[in-house]
Each structure stands twice: as structure tokens, then as C-alpha cells.
Amino acid sequence: MDKEDKVVPPVVVEEIAAVDGGRRARRTNSRETNRRSSEDPNRQREQSEWEEKIIQVRRVTKVVKGGKKLSFRAVVAVGNGKGQVGIGVGKASEVISAIQKGVVDARKSLIKVPLVGSTIPHQIIGTQGSSRIMLKPAAKGTGVIAGGAARAILELAGVGDVLSKSLGSRAPLNVARATVDGLRNLRTFEEAARLRGISIKQMLA
């Protein structure tokens, strides 16, 4: 009888295991929380400034010796809304991997966009292949009058008021690159005056 009294019922064993497991889980969670809190807040703030937009995801094929190899191509734009924007292309056998490669490629090709308030300084036409896009300054409150890939690039660059018109091919990748080409060639009044070797008053006179 004494031996039977010392035997722990299986229900009690399960309760002890549950309590012990809960303690271990709470201990693990506290460690993870301490580790997250010890991370650099400036790094988190820097990562949150950048925004990513997927412009296009296509399934592409490559003819190889054994037949056709399927993969995905992702066109991704990255910007901080403060005058910096870039575009990248990534290819992989999975969509997520292609998007990640596109983001890395876009961060390598960032450009600085000169802004005058919330619009661009002057009219310009960007070209890429057979795609051409015209960008014109707009009054405050107009908004981004653009569509598709051009709208994504302009919004990520921080342009709030602009007029645009696609004049050539409407392929999303070429339109996006044409938009980036136009933004890259923009010049402020100070830069134009310095290149000409005159003052701003003489240039505007």
C-alpha cells in the first residue's frame, strides 16, 4: 500500500509538465524581449524609412538542353520619400527570392532627386529603349497625375505634385527606368547657374 501511495497519477504528471513547460516558455520569451530591446533603435528607424513597392512579377522561361526552365522576374522600386529612389530587377525560381534580389539591386542604384517644395524643378522627358515619359511641374494640391510604374517611382521619390504622360512603349520595366532617367537628369536653378558660370539673377533675367 505504501508503494501505491507514492505513485504519482498520470494526470498530476501532465500538470507538472505543463507548468514546467510554461515556465521555460516564459523564460525564453523574456530572453527574446531583452535581446530585441538591446538592438540599436537608430538601425530600426533607418530601416523603417525605406519603402518597397513591387511594380511587376512575371514568370519567364529559359530554354536549356533538357527543355524549359521556369523562373520569376520581379521589378521592385525602393525609396524613402525624401528624394531618394531606386529600381531593381531580381530573378529566381521562387517569387519571394526574386523580390528579395530585386530589393538588393534597387538599393545599389539609388539616385538623388532634386525637389522644389513638393514638385520637380522643370519639365523633362525621360527615355529608356522605346519608352518615353514626360514629367511636368504642377501646382500644390494637384497630386501625382501618373499611372502604373511611373506613379510608384514618383511616390517613393517624395514627389507630391507632378504631371506625367507616357509617350512610347508602356512596358512597366522600361517605363520605370525612363521615369528614373528623367528624375536623374533634373537640375535645380542653383546647379544650372553654376554650370553656366552665372548668378541666379542673371539666369532668371
Are 121 and 84 part of one and the same domain? no
Residue 124 placed within a domain? yes
**95 and 117 share one domain:** no
C-alpha distances in angstroms, 163 versus 115, 141, 187? 14, 12, 17
Q: Using one digit for the tens of pLDDT, what is the confidence trace for 91-121?
A: 999 999 999 999 999 999 999 999 988 999 9
Question: Would 7 be classed as within a structural domain?
Answer: no
Predicted local confidence at residue 104, as pLDDT: 95
Rounded (10°) angle between helices 149-157 and 172-184: 30
Out of 62, 82, 108, a domain closes at 108
CA 128 to chain centre: 21
Over residues 118-163, the pLDDT tens digits come to: 999 999 999 999 999 999 999 999 999 998 899 999 999 999 999 9
Residue 82 lies in a domain: yes
Please state the rounded mean pLDDT for residues 163-170. Answer: 94
- Are 73 and 118 in the same domain? no
**CATH value at residue 72:** 3.30.160.20
38-77 pLDDT, tens digit per residue, is: 455 555 445 568 899 999 999 999 999 989 999 999 999 9
Write the CATH number for 135: 3.30.230.10
Range of the domain at 61: 50-108
Per the domain annotation, does 25 fall within a domain? no
- Residues 94 and 119 placed together within one structural domain of the fold: no
Is the domain of 72 the same as that of 119? no
Residue 60 falls inside a structural domain: yes
- 104 and 75 together in one domain: yes
User: Which secondary structure element, helix H or strand E, spans residue 133, and what is its range?
Assistant: strand 131-137
- Cross-strand partners of 166: 133
How many domains in the chain? 2
More confident residue, 10 or 129: 129
Q: Which residue has the higher pLDDT, 30 or 82?
A: 82
Say if CB 181 and CB 127 are below 8 A apart.
yes
With respect to residue 30, please indicate whether it lies within any of the assigned structural domains.
Answer: no
- Based on the fold, state whether residues 122 and 183 are members of the same structural domain: yes
- Within its chain, how far is the Cα of 171 from the centroid? 20
Together in a domain, 72 and 96:
yes
pLDDT of residue 8: 45
Q: Does the predicted TM-score (pTM) go above 0.75?
A: no
| Residue 57 contacts residue 71 (beta carbons within 8 Å) | no
Residue 202: pLDDT band (50, 70, 90) is confident
Those residues whose C-beta lies under 8 Å from the C-beta of residue 198, and which sit 6 or more positions away, are none
